[in-house]
Structure 1
Amino acid sequence: MTFDTVRLFAREATGWLPDWLVTLIILALAVLLATLCYRILFRILTRIVAGRELFWRSLVERGAAPLRLVMIIVTLIFGTAVSPLTSGEAQILWRLLTVGTIICIAWISYTALYIWTTIHMRRFKLDAEDNLMARKHITQSRILVKVSKILIIVIAVAAVLMTFDAVRQYGVSLLASAGAAGIVAGLALQPLLKNLFAGIQLAITQPIRIDDAVIVEGEWGNVEEITSTYVVIRVWDWRRLIIPLSYFIEKPFQNWTRENAELIGVVMIYLDHTAPIDRIRAEGERIARASPLWDGKVYNLAVTDFRERVMEVRVLVSARNAPRTFDLRCEVREKLVAFIQREFPHALPRTREEVQASTPGVLARDLGQEPG
């Protein structure tokens, strides 16, 4: 049975009704049929994926809305084919259905991508001690999802524009970045496109990752969020530093956790020249070993500079991650200073003045007294 046969049958059955009412009835029946088919298909799919992986179960659940739209479009296409529409009316309806189909494809594509990345990221925990692998995968997933979302929207909008003859050139220009409209759009959107491509480069090369400890513009903090255009740095005092993505491609910055989360903390202490370094070194090692923050890998105390008034003592201690390293530095510094104050107060920095006299008469004269 062809569409022409169905159309002829419908026209004979409703010959006493106006064409617009026949068309309205057919389209309404198509929507009702789509709703019924959707419910039946959704139940079948739910039972099929009941014992399968989480991805398929989530795809069916989150894809319910786009699936319903797909069913409506399919039945409306059939309804349009059998409706007594003029060529102009049929063309308009076909264009609308084509736009709906493009939107459905984009919607389903993004839904599938979002579900896959969400399930993928659930395998990694940022609160683990060694979270290098987690930071790597979560950073890549978040950046690629945001970039893919923008690309899906751009491609969908371009495809929609290309379905209309009057604006088809704009769709081609948007999709291929060609022509005068494409040049104007490219110039206007240069900052956005610059950061978009920087985001793709960051996802591949990964100079920074989520939860990395970095120093940017003189501020120390952790990477809290990476969007498609900017990075949010959570500074140590809970302020947020907003940096464009392109900054991390074009300018130098410090990344303390590039290869792993472990760090060596530095404690600088300035002491008098008479300070007993061996005793202080032994006490520093005892403090490090007694601390639950120390990872047991690196401890060193050495005199790194000797000046006219003080000598510079550097203590190195290591910990599993940046926050623990900072706390360990503070602990070692406080306890070493307390130990020196208690045991060797003369070892703290001081300004001294010595007065020497060769004979008692000289000393008495200097003090303003008559020699005895």
Structure 2
Amino acid sequence: MQSYLVTVVAALAAAAIALLLVEVVHRVTRRLGRRSLLMTELTEHSHRPFQLAGTVLAVQLVVRFTTLYAVGSPWRQAVLHALVIALIAAAAWLVASLLVVIEDTALARFRVDVPNNRHARRVRTQVVLLRRLTIAVIVVLAVGVTLMTFPAVRGIGAGVLTSAGVVGVVAALAAQSLLGNVLAGLQLAFSDAVRLDDVVVVEGEWGRIEELTLSYVVVQIWDDRRLILPTSYFTSRPFENWTRTEAAVLGTAVFDVDWALPVQAMREELRRLVESSDLWDGRVCVLQVVDATGGMIQVRALVSAADAGSLWDLRCLVREHLVAWVRDHRPTAMPRVRAEVGDASGTLPWQAVQPRRPVRRLSDTDVPDDARVFGGSDDGDARSEAFVGREDHADSRR
């Protein structure tokens, strides 16, 4: 009993000393790294896993060397085994936190709060996916090392290795969809087809890439809904990416107006409007007649903006302003339907003229030759024999 108490007290003392040393290192690192981003990230992300790993290691060493008198006893083996498992988990957490620190330090060099942030968003997308992949690999390795600490698992290791090929084939067939999404996620990360914060149109919805993982993509729709899609969707189906090369985009506003519209005056009004608006980026301002059928003309205003959100507001502003301009300043150019009414005394060809004498109307059976397809001419008689004659022949056989 006295030996057990000595072991417990020594373990507690070792844990306290380890915590004290880790705290001293933490405070010194934080003080010295006030101007260093790497030191700041270390103190924020690696402090807790470092505490756990140092404490478990200290306790494990104390228990191992203070229980030499009980070598071979079951309780000693169980305690040391549990401490080894805890040390493996703490080491995996510490390594993962160090990787996160390195990745965050690298990402700090690429700012996304600037107008031209395409390269930064590309790097961020790749780093985020690599972070998820490396953490998953660390977890798998930690679980594998933990299982190898059990004698039973080590004993069947040879059998597992020999059947690894069969197991791999079965696992690949069972997780075909999951593996396809993982590979699609890696393809998206390095093919530059889509990145975080890209503006896309998928399934008829306009939104922004909010989250991109190895298995799914979260699209934040403009009305704050979330559209969850598998990563394989973006490698197997077409979608619109409005910000793949740059954020600046073009947009249109279409108007149906009367032929009386002075196009040049409307073009000048559009130019005055966009030049007075902060939404316009100064690149494109065009007004053209794109169609002239059906009694009206179709006018299209083409404008540009720095990003998709500004373009939407600019298009709405152009529609609202030009509709009011046509209504208030050019009312004769508003869309309308014309109706021409004639009188009995009119002499124009298109007017309805009252007949002055009765006109002989042909009966239903008295049809002129030029109104018939079958008959009335040699060619018509031939067609009549070719089509009608065969039916008559068929009827006679019945």
TM-score relative to the length of structure 1:
0.81
Q: Is the 8 A contact 2:199 2:242 kept in 1?
A: yes
Helix, strand or coil: the match of 2:309?
helix
Which residue, 49, 53, 74 being the options, matches 1:70? Answer: 53
Q: 1:364 to 1:184 in 2, by over 3 A?
A: closer
AA aligned opposite 2:232: S
**1:237 maps to what in 2?**
223
Q: Does 1:87 align with 2:87?
A: no
Which residue, 22, 26, 31 being the options, matches 2:3? Answer: 22
Q: Does 1:55 align with 2:38?
A: yes
AA aligned opposite 2:261: A
Q: How far 1:37 sits from its partner (Å)?
A: 3.2
Which residue, 325, 345, 356 being the options, matches 1:359? Answer: 345
Q: Does 1:284 align with 2:270?
A: yes
**1:6 maps to what in 2?**
none
Q: How far 1:330 sits from its partner (Å)?
A: 0.7
Q: Is the 8 A contact 1:222 1:233 kept in 2?
A: yes
Q: How far 1:173 sits from its partner (Å)?
A: 10
201-210 vs 353-362, which deviates more? 353-362
**2:126 maps to what in 1?**
140
Q: 1:168 to 1:267 in 2, by over 3 A?
A: farther
Q: How far 1:57 sits from its partner (Å)?
A: 3.5
Based on CA coordinates, which of the two structures has the bigger radius of gyration?
Answer: 2
Which residue, 265, 268, 274 being the options, matches 2:251? Answer: 265
TM-score relative to the length of structure 2:
0.76
Q: 1:177 to 1:136 in 2, by over 3 A?
A: farther
1:229-257, Cα deviation, whole Å (9 max, x unpaired): 22221222222211111211221100011
Q: Does 1:34 align with 2:20?
A: no
**2:285 maps to what in 1?**
299
**1:161 maps to what in 2?**
147
Q: Is the 8 A contact 1:215 1:221 kept in 2?
A: yes
Q: Is the 8 A contact 2:253 2:319 kept in 1?
A: yes
RMSD, matched Cα: 3.2
154-163 vs 65-74, which deviates more? 65-74
Q: 1:219 to 1:364 in 2, by over 3 A?
A: closer
Q: How far 1:140 sits from its partner (Å)?
A: 2.7
Q: Is the 8 A contact 2:286 2:302 kept in 1?
A: yes
AA aligned opposite 2:11: A
Which residue, 20, 23, 27 being the options, matches 1:46? Answer: 27
**2:380 maps to what in 1?**
none
What are the residue-to-residue correspondences of 1:139-288 with 2, within 5 Å? 139-168=125-154, 178-288=164-274
Q: 1:27 to 1:203 in 2, by over 3 A?
A: farther
263-272 vs 117-126, which deviates more? 117-126
Q: Is the 8 A contact 2:129 2:214 kept in 1?
A: yes
Q: 1:100 to 1:187 in 2, by over 3 A?
A: farther
Q: How much identity, in percent, do the aligned residues show? A: 36
Q: How far 1:71 sits from its partner (Å)?
A: 2.6
Q: Is the 8 A contact 2:345 2:353 kept in 1?
A: no
Q: Is the 8 A contact 1:208 1:258 kept in 2?
A: yes
Q: Is the 8 A contact 2:210 2:219 kept in 1?
A: yes
AA aligned opposite 1:72: T
355-364 vs 316-325, which deviates more? 355-364
**2:395 maps to what in 1?**
none
Q: Which has the higher contact order (CA 8 A, sep 6+)?
A: 1
Q: Is the 8 A contact 1:221 1:234 kept in 2?
A: yes
Whole-Å separation in 2 of the counterparts to 1:283 and 1:164: 81
Whole-Å separation in 2 of the counterparts to 1:250 and 1:358: 69
**1:11 maps to what in 2?**
none
Q: Is the 8 A contact 1:147 1:199 kept in 2?
A: no
**1:100 maps to what in 2?**
86
Whole-Å separation in 2 of the counterparts to 1:97 and 1:129: 52
Helix, strand or coil: the match of 1:241?
strand
Q: How far 1:301 sits from its partner (Å)?
A: 1.1
Helix, strand or coil: the match of 1:304?
strand
AA aligned opposite 2:28: R
> Structure 1 unaligned runs (5+)?
1-16, 367-372
Whole-Å separation in 1 of the counterparts to 2:89 and 2:195: 33
Whole-Å separation in 2 of the counterparts to 1:340 and 1:117: 57
Q: Is the 8 A contact 2:56 2:86 kept in 1?
A: yes
